[in-house]
Structure 1
Amino acid sequence: MKCIINGKLILPDRIVENRAILFRDHIEAIPETRNIPSSGLEIYDARGKYVAPGLVDVHCHGGVGEDTSDANPDGIRKMSRALIENGVTSWLPTTMTLPLEELDAIFATLREARKESRHKNTWHGAEILGANMEGPFINPKKKGAHKEEYIIPPSAAYVKKHQDIIRLLTIAPEVEGGMEFIDEIHRDTDIALSMGHSAASYEEAMEAIQRGVTHATHLFNAMTGVLHREPGMVGAALSSKVNCELIADTFHIHPGLFQMVAKAKGKHLILITDCMRAGGLPDGQYDLGGQMATVSGIQCRLEDGTIAGSVLRLNKAVENVMRYTDLPIWEIVAAASLNPATAIGEDKRKGSLEVGKDADIIIADENFTIQKTFVGGNCEYAK
């Protein structure tokens, strides 16, 4: 049995002190410190730092020179190992808009990687929960960094062929066949549908939500914005109960909006990274979905100036929201753990410090720099 003591435990609705966490591969108890056994424990002293649930990144393309779209098993392993340094204990490797035969290869790779990642004694990194399919069923007018020549009309038959691995999928509801696609995928699968890379009007977005869309891909970016007579997709996302992704790097979204969005969305706010291959590497030029992107500081752009993903770390997103809002830390942490886990149906075992859940636990300092990361009860990273 392992035990973390002397930490400020971040629970879903508060911080508690003078309690310990007892765990093996699952959390077994959260007793008062004075009630823990006097022997037989492997003790970890948090020394007054935060103890929080492992973070869950449901939108991450790559990092440390690797990309999900490479369909390289070693690359997936390398990214998973790197993510635990950022406090991420589970994730959805995310695809770009590519030909379907290339997506076939990516999904085959991720099936095997997901199996591997469930064996905690041999897998040393963040657990793979499935895939996030971003494209190719998007609107060319809002393609962002996706390659236009690979954008195609939505195909429910193709998606259903891979429904065992796809957990989240982006669709532009206004494209031809988009609404019918939403109907079929919502009816026949458990895939969470996200609206994004879209020129949909407010009315079209609201219709998509009524038909089964539950998620919005990187709010504000690559979608119709808010105007007082045309609320757009952003207006529909903010005024409904859909889960809204936010890239809180202070570049994609002005930090002055963090508080407003968080207040509007509550438990439906999801912090993501949208990280690309360059994450964790020096400034320079990097491939993204078959196009070259230039990285300078926190900015990633294609040659024509289009914003192209990010190099954000999820624990840094937590820190940024801490800095620019007055939200309680447990709400901010939930936006990077429990909320994304809930959005993809993993909240029974991921996303919070609760008895019975997986022992995915992090220790972080006051700036949310990660000190230790436990995945399935194993200490996989120590600063």
Structure 2
Amino acid sequence: MRAIINSKIILEDEVLEDSVIVYNDKIVDIVKSNEFENVKVDSIIDAKGNYVSAGFIDLHIHGSGGYDTMDATKEALNTISKTIIQNGVTSYLPTTMSMSKSDIKNALDNIRNTKITGGAKSVGVHLEGPFINPKYKGAQNEKYIINPDYEFIKNYLDIIRIITFAPEKDENFEFINKVKQHKNVVLSMGHTDATFEQAIEAIQNGVTYVTHAFNAMTGLHHRNPGVIGALFANDIYCELIADTIHVHKGIFQSFIDMNKKEKVILITDSMRAGCMKCGEYELGGQRVIVDEISARLEDNTLAGSILKLNDAVKNIRDNTKYKINDIINMVTVNPARAIGLYDEIGSIEKGKAADLVIFDENIKILTTIINGDTLYEVI
């Protein structure tokens, strides 16, 4: 067994001090410091007064470290996994995008068949596209966009955790009705031109999630509340890209207040240029220009992000009044609950995977532990 001492332990509802985490591949216990002398362990990590939380979970990430999910290679997934642990991510959903059916199937097959070692765990797939609305395609390639097609993805529903789609393109909600029979799959509105009424009806029929709120969807207007209005009117999960570019920092507080802190999930939507230098990259076969803060197509459309998940946490911490445990829940508890994995990951509790991160007051990641193994450490 191993232990982490001298830390501030972030739990769902509180921050513990003067306690020790004992773990092997799973969390064994949390004991008071004055009781730890009676616990026999093989090694100790001294957190030196820094924070410890459950490992971060990114439910929407296309790539990082120069690779993309759509590269459909084992090298790509392993590099992404090994890159994002430096941002505190211990579990993630490799995310696809609108490309040819064969390209998408190749990516899905690769995710299913790749055994990741030494990096963040792939816990399924986020299928973003091709079932979206061309009007709000964002950086998705319009020539590959199609209407929701259950037959196309039915053989992959064992690994798909989230499907982003435009509900107004789903005639008579046939797609929703078929997919919702698979309890492990989350139906999410995104890249959509749905009206408030259409969005409400989609939620009533089985949609429980909204992809990167505000971006690539009908906005909030006092006469036409759109998808955002429907989100505020219902108790469903939603993603937020808190890079201060996709969504202005001035709205972070009110958005989380309106949508409930228990339902907001911070994601990166990072593309292959994440953790890389500025320059020219590729996304879905399209040229992307990356500077110090953003990734954009040649027509200036935002093309995903280069956000790191720990920076998203910092941006919310710096621009809202929420407590640190409430914010950490947005990258741990909330995403784990949203995709039905809260019994396994997402919080520091006995019996859960020992996925842990140590970070300082600036949310700089110092140590990342996955299944009890220290995979990243700042010396």
Q: So what's the TM-score if we normalise by structure 2?
A: 0.97
**Cα distance, 1:39 vs. partner?**
4.2
- 1:163, 1:189 within 8 Å by CA — same for their partners in 2? no
1:166 aligns with 2:167: no
CA distance in 1, matches of 2:47, 2:254: 33
2:289 is matched by which residue type in structure 1? T
1:56 aligns with 2:50: no
CA RMSD of aligned residues (A): 1.0
- Residue correspondences, number: 376
1:5 is matched by which residue type in structure 2? I
Moved more, 280-289 or 216-225: 280-289
**Cα distance, 1:177 vs. partner?**
2.3
CA distance in 2, matches of 1:225, 1:84: 34
CA distance in 2, matches of 1:63, 1:363: 21
Moved more, 238-247 or 173-182: 173-182
1:278 aligns with 2:273: yes
**Cα distance, 1:104 vs. partner?**
1.1
| Partner-residue secondary structure (3-state), 2:290 | strand
- 1:171, 1:178 within 8 Å by CA — same for their partners in 2? no
- 1:154, 1:178 within 8 Å by CA — same for their partners in 2? no
Compared CA separation, residues 39 and 355, structure 1 to 2 (3 A):
closer
Compared CA separation, residues 270 and 98, structure 1 to 2 (3 A):
same
| Partner-residue secondary structure (3-state), 1:31 | strand
Partner residue in 1 for 2:336: 341
**Cα distance, 1:38 vs. partner?**
5.5
**Cα distance, 1:157 vs. partner?**
1.6
Cα deviation, 1:187-228, whole Å, max 9, x if unaligned, reads: 245210100100000010011111111110000000000000
Residues 245-260 of structure 1 mapped to structure 2, 5 A cutoff:
245-260=239-254
Partner residue in 1 for 2:324: 329
1:179 aligns with 2:173: yes
CA distance in 1, matches of 2:223, 2:162: 31
| Identity across the alignment (%) | 45
- 2:157, 2:182 within 8 Å by CA — same for their partners in 1? no
| Partner-residue secondary structure (3-state), 2:343 | coil
Partner residue in 2 for 1:120: none
**Cα distance, 1:40 vs. partner?**
3.5
1:366 aligns with 2:367: no
**Cα distance, 1:89 vs. partner?**
0.2
2:357 is matched by which residue type in structure 1? I
- 1:56, 1:89 within 8 Å by CA — same for their partners in 2? yes
Residues 11-22 of structure 1 mapped to structure 2, 5 A cutoff:
11-22=11-22
CA distance in 2, matches of 1:378, 1:144: 39
- 1:46, 1:363 within 8 Å by CA — same for their partners in 2? yes
1:140 aligns with 2:131: no
- 1:169, 1:193 within 8 Å by CA — same for their partners in 2? yes
Residues 1-383 of structure 1 mapped to structure 2, 5 A cutoff:
1-36=1-36, 37=38, 39-113=40-114, 116-117=115-116, 123-177=117-171, 179-264=173-258, 265-383=260-378
CA distance in 1, matches of 2:124, 2:170: 27
Moved more, 153-162 or 21-30: 153-162
- 1:94, 1:131 within 8 Å by CA — same for their partners in 2? yes
CA distance in 1, matches of 2:92, 2:39: 36
Cα deviation, 1:5-39, whole Å, max 9, x if unaligned, reads: 11000000110101100000000100101111364
Write out the 4+ residue segments of structure 1 that deviate beyond 4 Å after TM superposition. Answer: none
Q: So what's the TM-score if we normalise by structure 1?
A: 0.96
Moved more, 185-194 or 234-243: 185-194
